[in-house]
Amino acid sequence: MTRKYRIGNPIETDSVVQDIEVTKGEIPFFKKDDEEGMLSLSMSKKNMVFGLGETVRGINKRGWIYTSFNADDPNHTEDKRSLYASQNFLIITSDDRSLGVYVDTPGRVTFDIGYSQQDQLVISFEDFDADIYLIEADESEASLSRSESLKNIVKEFRHLIGRSYIPPYWAFGFGQSRWSYYTEDEVREVADKYDELGIPLDMIYLDIDYMERYKDFTVDDKAFPNFPDFVNEMKNRGIHLVPIIDAGVKIEDGYDVYEEGVKEDFFVKKDNGENLVAAVWPGQVHFPDFLNDKAREWFGNKYKVLLDQGIDGFWNDMNEPAIFYTQDHLKEVFDAIEDYKGKNLDIKSFFAFKDLVGSIDNNEADYKRFYHEYKGRKIRHDKVHNLFGYNMTRAAGEAFERLSPDKRILMFSRSSYIGMHRYGGIWCGDNKSWWSHLLLNIQQMPALSMCGFLYSGADVCGFGADTTEDLAIRWISFGIFTPLFRNHAAAGTRYQELYRFDSKDTFKKLIDLRYALIPYLYSEFMKAALNYEMLFKPLCFEYDDDRSREVEDQLLVGDSIMIAPVYKQNTTGRYVYLPEDMKMIRFRAYDDYDEEVLPMGDHYLRADLGEVLVFIRKGRVLPITEPANRTEALATDNLTYICYEADAKSYDMYTDDGITRI
C-alpha cells in the first residue's frame, strides 16, 4: 500500500509514473518539525535501514549521514555524504512491520541514519517541500515474513516509479575502457589482443579524447579518419564502440551544437539572462537546459549524429553537472589571490589561500549562479540540482525512442535521480583500485536494484589509482555477475587491460565464465525488470533468520544463486554463511568446478585466485551455456543445468531476440 503525503509546495521531478492522490493529514510514523524542516523517526536497536542507492558504506545504512546533492567526487571514502546520485528511497525494517519511504524532492535532503543519535532517523530538508511516499506491504501484511514484506515494498515502489531501462543483450558482454584510447589503432589493438587470447569482449569504450577538442557529437578526424568505416569494421568483428557524451557544450564559433543552442536559447542562463559561461574539458562551455522540454528534445536529437555513424551505445558523463569553474567565479578567485601575494602566510591565511584555489571546481556556490526554464518556471539550479543528470539521460532516452523505435540503444549515466532508471543505467562513477572499493561495489548493488537501476555496475579493477593483478582477478571474479561489466581506468594510472597481466589464462577462464552465465544473468535481469523485482538482494530479503540480517558481503543474484566474493588481499579463502543448505560450486572455469552440498551455517571455504564461489539455492537451477567470444555467438538452447534438488525444466528461462524494444 502506497500513500502520498505532501509537504509544502514541491517542485515536480517526473520520477513517479503513478497518479496517487495526496493523503491529507499528518504523516504517520514520523515526527514533523516545521521549524527545522525535519522528519524524524525512532529506531529500535534491531531496525535496519536499506536503500539510498549509490552511497558509501555498507548495505545496512545505519550509522552515517547522507546528503542527496549530486557531486562529482572521485574520493569515495567512508566519510563522504554525497556521491553522484540522489536516490531517496529507503526501507526501515522492523520485525513486525517494515516501511518504505520515498522522499521526492529535487533539492538538498539529508538522511541522518543514527549518526547524530544512534536511535534516531532524521530527514532534513533545505527547502521543506517534498512529496513523501510511504509504502507498506500489502493488505495481507500480517501474514508476511520480514523478507516477503521487504520484497513486497520494493515491488510496490518499483511500480510507482515505472519500469527499468532494458539494454540490448550484447550489453551483457564484457567491455574494455580507458581514459583514453586515442586512435583507431589503439582501439584495434585492444580488440586484437583480446581476440588473440580468446578472451570474450563485446564493447570498447571511447572516453573524451575521441572527440574533436572535447566537443560533443564530433569525432577527431586525425585519430579516427573515417569513423563510420571504423565503427563498421569493429561491428563486423562483433565489437560495439561506446562513446562518452559530456554535459557541457564547447563555446566555439562555427560549432553547430553551440551555435544552435545559443540561437534557440537552449542553454542555462544567469539571472541577468546571459548564458552561463562555465568550463569543463574543452575550457569554456554552456550547459544545455535539459530540464526544458524543447532543449531536451533538441539535445537528444544530436545523438543521431553518432547513431548515423553506426554507434548504438553511449555513456553520459559530467552531468552532476561537474564544473571546473564558472567564468565569473574564476575572475573573483584571481582577484582574491592578489591579497595573499608577498605576505607571511600562516595557518589561517595559507589554508584560506589554498582553499580559494582548491575549491574552484565543483564549487556549490556556482550552482546558485544559473537558472532553468522548467515546466514554465524559471528556477535556480540548486533547487533542481539533482534532476540535471537525470534529464540529460532522459534527453537521450526519449530521443532513442524516436530515432531508434525498434532497436534498443545502450545508455548509462554517471549522475542520476530516481526516474532516470527508465532511460538508462548507471556506473558507480570514478572509484579507485582499492580493495575497499571492490567491497563497496558489492554493497552498492542491492541498493541500486531497490530503486530500479538494474543495468549498473562499477568500473572493475578500479578507475583511479593503480590496480594490482590480484585485485583485478578478484574484482573480475565479482564483476562477472553485474549486468554492466566494464574494466575502466583513469589517465595516468597503470594499464589494466586483462592482457597486460601474467594471469592471462585465469582472466580468460573468468570472462568465459561470465559469458557462460549470460543466459542466466539476462534471464534474471529481464524478469527483474518486467516483474519490478531486485536483481541483487541482501540475504535478509530472502531469509528471516537473525544471522542473515548482518551479512554484508554475500549477495543473492537472481532467484537461483548466492555469491560470496573474495575482497581481501593475500587470502586463499573466506568465511561464508549459508542461511540454508546450499550446493556450493567452486568454479575454476565454466566447465571445471567442484560441487558440494553444504549444510546451513558457517563455513570457511577455499577460494584461491581464479576460483569463484557460487551457491545454488535449494530447489533452484543454474543454467550455463558454452562461452563464445561475443554475446551474439552464445547459444541459448542446449544449456547445461546445475541443479540442487530441482528439475532442470523448472527453471523459468526468459529469452527474446535481445534487441527489439519491449
Interface ranges with its own copies (CB under 8 A): 48, 57-58, 60, 62-64, 77-79, 114-115, 117-118, 214, 279-284, 324-325, 330, 334, 337, 340-342, 344-347, 349-350, 353-354, 357-358, 360-361, 432-436, 464-466, 468-471, 502-503, 547, 550, 552, 568-573, 575, 577, 602, 604
Which residue number, 57 or 421, has a Cβ lying nearer to its own copies? Answer: 57
Specify the residue, 114 or 300, whose C-beta has the smaller distance to its own copies.
114
- Residue among 15 and 441 whose Cβ is closer to its own copies: 441
In the complex, the smallest distance separating the C-beta of residue 331 from its own copies, rounded to whole angstroms, is 8
Shortest Å distance, C-beta 163 to its own copies? 32
The position carrying cell 522528519 is 39
CB of 354 to its own copies, least distance (A): 6
Instruction: Give 310 or 573: the residue with its C-beta nearer to its own copies.
Output: 573
Residue with Cβ nearer its own copies (94 or 436): 436
- Output the DSSP codes for 113-155: ESSSSTTEEEEEESS--EEEEEE---GGGGG--HHHHHHHHHH
How far apart CA 394 and CA 120 sit, in angstroms, is 36
Nearest to its own copies of 58, 452 (CB atom): 58
Q: How far apart are CA 437 and CA 459, in angstroms?
A: 10
To the nearest whole angstrom, how small is the minimum distance from the Cβ of residue 344 to its own copies?
4
Beta strands per DSSP E along 126-233: 130-135, 175-176, 203-206
Query: Closest separation between CB of residue 433 and its own copies, Å?
Result: 7
Give whichever of 117 and 660 is closer to its own copies, judged by the CB atom. 117
Minimum distance of its own copies from residue 150's CB (angstroms): 16
Taking residue 547's Cβ as centre, other Cβ atoms within 10 Å add up to: 15
Nearest to its own copies of 121, 409 (CB atom): 121
CA dist 164 → 159, 316, 450 (Å): 10, 17, 11
Least CB distance to its own copies at residue 600 (A): 13
Q: Provide the minimum distance between the beta carbon of 398 and its own copies in the complex, in angstroms, as a whole number.
A: 30
Rounded CA gap, 640 and 173, in Å? 20
Q: What are phi and psi of 290, to 5 degrees?
A: -60, -15
Buried b (16+ CB within 10 A) or exposed e, 346-366: eeeeeeebeebeeebebbeeb
Quick one: 228 exposed, middle or buried, by C-beta within 10 A (0-12, 13-18, 19+)?
Answer: middle
What is the smallest separation between the CB atom of 238 and its own copies, expressed in angstroms? 32
- Bin 425: left if φ > 0, else alpha if -120 < ψ < 50, else beta: beta
Contact 616, 635 (CB under 8 A): no
- The Cα–Cα gap between 157 and 451 comes to 8
Q: Other CB atoms closer than 10 Å to residue 304's CB: what's the count?
A: 16
Q: Which is nearer to its own copies, 22 or 352 (CB)?
A: 352
**Per-residue b or e along 520-535, where b marks 16 or more CB atoms closer than 10 Å to that residue's CB:** bbbbbbbbbbeebbbb
Which of 102, 124, 146 is CA-nearest to residue 3? 102
Q: How many of the other CB atoms lie within 10 Å of CB of 294? A: 12
Tell me how far CA of residue 192 lies from CA of 232, 238, 582, 601, in angstroms: 16, 12, 41, 46
CB of 46 to its own copies, least distance (A): 10
Rounded to the nearest 10 degrees, the angle between the axes of helix 256-264 and helix 293-302 is 170
Given a contact cutoff of 8 angstroms between Cβ atoms, the answer to whether 207 and 213 are in contact is no
Rounded Cα distance, 339 and 296, in Å: 43
C-alpha cell at 367: 550552482
In the bound state with its own copies, the residue whose beta carbon lies nearer, of 404 and 503, is 503
Closer residue to its own copies in complex, CB, 204/578? 578
Residues in the chain, overall count:
662
* Cβ nearer to its own copies, comparing 21 with 604: 604
CB closer to its own copies, 31 vs 568: 568
| Cα–Cα distances in angstroms (integers) from residue 278 to residues 18, 107, 173, 214, 312, in the given order | 37, 21, 37, 14, 30
Closest separation in Å from C-beta 610 to its own copies: 12
Q: Least distance from C-beta 598 to its own copies, angstroms?
A: 13
Q: What minimum distance in Å lies between the beta carbon of 552 and its own copies? A: 7
